[in-house]
Amino acid sequence: MIQEYQLRILPEQAANEQVLKQYIAREKGVKPDTIYAIRILKRSIDARQRTIYLNLGVRVYINEMPSGDEFQITEYRSVENKPQVIVVGAGPGGLFAALRLIELGLRPIVVERGKSVRDRKSDIALISREHIVNPESNYSFGEGGAGAFSDGKLYTRSKKRGNVDKILNVFCQHGANPAILADAHPHIGTDKLPKVIENMRNTILTNGGEVHFETRMDALIIKNNRVEGIETNTGQTFLGPVILATGHSARDVYRWLAENNVPIETKGLAVGVRLEHPSELIDQIQYHRREGRGSYLPAAEYSFVTQVKERGVYSFCMCPGGFVVPAASGPEQVVVNGMSPSNRGSKWSNSGMVVEIRPEDTEVDQWLVANGKADKVESVLKLMHFQEELERQSWLQGGMKQTAPAQRMVDFTNRKLGVDLPKSSYSPGLLASPLHFWLPDFISKRLAQGFLQFGKSCHGFLTNEAVMMGVETRTSSPIRIVRDKETMQHITIAGLFPCGEGAGYAGGIVSAGMDGERCAEAVAAFLNNPA
């Protein structure tokens, strides 16, 4: 017999399977020796009161053992000699598009400008160790995309855009811990995700697809408003419909589209800083107790949002027990991002703290003009140029290395120049800098006001134990590659399927994966009913 129950229990009770079994037996009137197995279906933390509880949805197997896997298996069959589809980019959008194409009987040809997820590691290490950024292999470019070495968070609010459970199950099928199916905020971890990505690539190859690393798309082949394929830096040409899943940092793609009169539009984004606290402090604040997380709770998360002068100010990509990493993808850039290992066990917790920027904001125009970029104001790439200039300013303030300009949180809020900085997880190092002075006022003043509000609602959050690092600019794409809502094709170019975060239609691993699947389905419909 199988029974499902909703439980509200203490963390220490949930941590031990025997204790959990005894609890279920006592509460539900079941003999302990008849409970053969327990599977946790849903798990969330209720830390609203001093006594912290876990809310669990469990499936209890009474007098029988579970059969089958904890996750649903997707069957993949060989697509050798099937019609081929070009997938540009091997981030989550591209990988899930490729896997879905195989399901649909189409042959994916994946083209990735960067290296394999394993070979990326040496280039990423060079950024911290020698301050060298390889423009084709970094935290943004390479197999797995920007998410591979960022964090592996799998939480999304975009549940109407596709099947979230399908994405999570595919991850489990390729080696992710099935716990992600139960957790309210699932997370794989930057230490575990690379192996999962390798397994996804092997599924593509085993079933007749292709994956080409260090192969950058340099041009789309367009004839009579129809895509015929792509040209690459290796001299190879690949023919077929194109799923364009290049990620939010592939600025050369945006430039090519603009120069070749492929319709794109400016899209709003958010920019700001990365804020880092001691993880123990965040645990104490969020769990409302001096001992913090203790032995049975995970590193605490937080989420803040407010409005300051008609623009959103909010936390973004919060990484409990994580690290701040250098996320530049080219020369004369300092960009910061966050990641967490699977155990979320570092001494620090960090989050992006960002301000909403809209295409119509005249403050952006004025700032670009003041910084010698007047010719960029009328460009469809205006917000991309804004990103680039902010990143250049950050590089200058950081000493023209990957050292990040930084300032204590209260000093920033009080517009005070501090010379000393706390210890940080950011391995290239920090350089004391007056962020309040050189960041645009429409960002710095909104951030400062937001911090004051967050400090009032969350006592202890506004502290000089926290350090801010510049700049967080890669929150999303500054461009939308415009597509038809029904066909998923570009509005003027048949056979081109803009996809994922880089096209302006996703905002994280899961939403990009869902968009990849939808684009694959749209390609299948296109090939079955060519205009």
Q: Contacts for 411-418 with beta carbons within 8 Å, 24 or more apart?
A: 411/464, 412/436, 412/444, 412/447, 412/448, 412/451, 412/468, 413/448, 413/451, 413/452, 413/462, 415/448, 418/464
Overall average pLDDT of the 44-58 stretch: 93
453 assigned to some structural domain: yes
Do 237 and 306 have their domain in common? no
Kind and range of the H or E run holding 383: helix 382-397
Q: Report d(CA 444, CA 303) in Å as an integer.
A: 20
**Is residue 33 very low, low, confident or very high in pLDDT (cuts 50, 70, 90)?**
very high
pLDDT tens-digit profile of 382-410? 999 999 999 999 999 999 999 999 999 99
DSSP letter assigned to residue 490: B
**114: domain CATH number?**
3.50.50.60
**Is residue 331 very low, low, confident or very high in pLDDT (cuts 50, 70, 90)?**
very high
Q: Report d(CA 145, CA 66) in Å as an integer.
A: 36
Q: Which residues contact 524 (CB under 8 A, 6 or more apart)?
A: 101, 104, 105, 106
Q: Lowest mean pLDDT: which of 147-151, 265-269, 276-280, 524-528?
A: 147-151
β pairing state of 479-481 and 264-266: antiparallel
Do 258 and 273 have their domain in common? no
Q: What is the pLDDT of residue 531?
A: 60
Domain count for the chain, please give it: 3
Is pLDDT of 157 > 80? no
Q: What is the pLDDT of residue 158?
A: 61
Do 281 and 426 have their domain in common? yes
Do 108 and 234 have their domain in common? yes
DSSP β-bridge partners for residue 2: 61
Do 30 and 172 have their domain in common? no
Is pLDDT of 370 > 80? yes
**42: domain CATH number?**
3.30.70.2700
**Is residue 215 very low, low, confident or very high in pLDDT (cuts 50, 70, 90)?**
very high
Q: Is 235 exposed, middle or buried (0-12, 13-18, 19+ CB in 10 A)?
A: exposed
Q: What is the pLDDT of residue 148?
A: 85
pLDDT tens-digit profile of 163-192? 899 999 999 999 999 999 999 888 898 889
Question: If we measure between CA atoms, which residue out of 254, 4, 213, 227 comes closest to residue 114?
Answer: 213
Is pLDDT of 503 > 80? yes
Do 172 and 282 have their domain in common? no
Q: Report d(CA 319, CA 398) in Å as an integer.
A: 23
Q: Report d(CA 469, CA 327) in Å as an integer.
A: 12
Count CA within 13 A, CB hemisphere, residue 122: 4
73 assigned to some structural domain: no
**What domain range includes position 38?**
2-62
377 assigned to some structural domain: yes
Other C-beta atoms closer than 10 Å to the C-beta of 422 total 17
485 assigned to some structural domain: yes
Q: What is the pLDDT of residue 118?
A: 94
Q: Lowest mean pLDDT: which of 31-35, 150-154, 248-252, 352-356?
A: 150-154
**What single letter denotes the amino acid at residue 474?**
R
Do 196 and 308 have their domain in common? no
Q: Report d(CA 199, CA 158) in Å as an integer.
A: 26
DSSP β-bridge partners for residue 43: 56, 183
Are 435 and 314 in contact by the 8 Å Cβ rule? The answer is no
Q: Is 46 exposed, middle or buried (0-12, 13-18, 19+ CB in 10 A)?
A: exposed
b/e per residue 489-505 (b: at least 16 CB within 10 A): bbeebbbbbbbbbbbbb
Joined together, the tokens standing for residue 364 give 């952006």
Overall average pLDDT of the 422-444 stretch: 97
Joined together, the tokens standing for residue 255 give 């430039």
Rounded to 5 degrees, φ, ψ at 432 are: -55, 130
pTM score of the predicted model: 0.95
Q: Is 317 left (phi over 0), alpha (psi -120 to 50) or beta?
A: left
218 assigned to some structural domain: yes
**Is residue 311 very low, low, confident or very high in pLDDT (cuts 50, 70, 90)?**
very high
Do 256 and 280 have their domain in common? no
Do 306 and 386 have their domain in common? yes
Other C-beta atoms closer than 10 Å to the C-beta of 215 total 20
**Is residue 149 very low, low, confident or very high in pLDDT (cuts 50, 70, 90)?**
confident
Q: Report d(CA 179, CA 168) in Å as an integer.
A: 10
Do 352 and 441 have their domain in common? yes
Do 285 and 352 have their domain in common? yes
251 assigned to some structural domain: yes
Q: Which residues contact 122 (CB under 8 A, 6 or more apart)?
A: none
Do 346 and 318 have their domain in common? yes
185 assigned to some structural domain: yes
Q: Report d(CA 158, CA 476) in Å as an integer.
A: 15
72 assigned to some structural domain: no
Q: Is the peptide bond before 471 cis (omega within 30 degrees of 0)?
A: yes
Alpha helix positions (H), 162-247: 164-173, 193-206
Overall average pLDDT of the 465-493 stretch: 97
Q: Is 207 exposed, middle or buried (0-12, 13-18, 19+ CB in 10 A)?
A: buried
Q: What is the pLDDT of residue 151?
A: 64
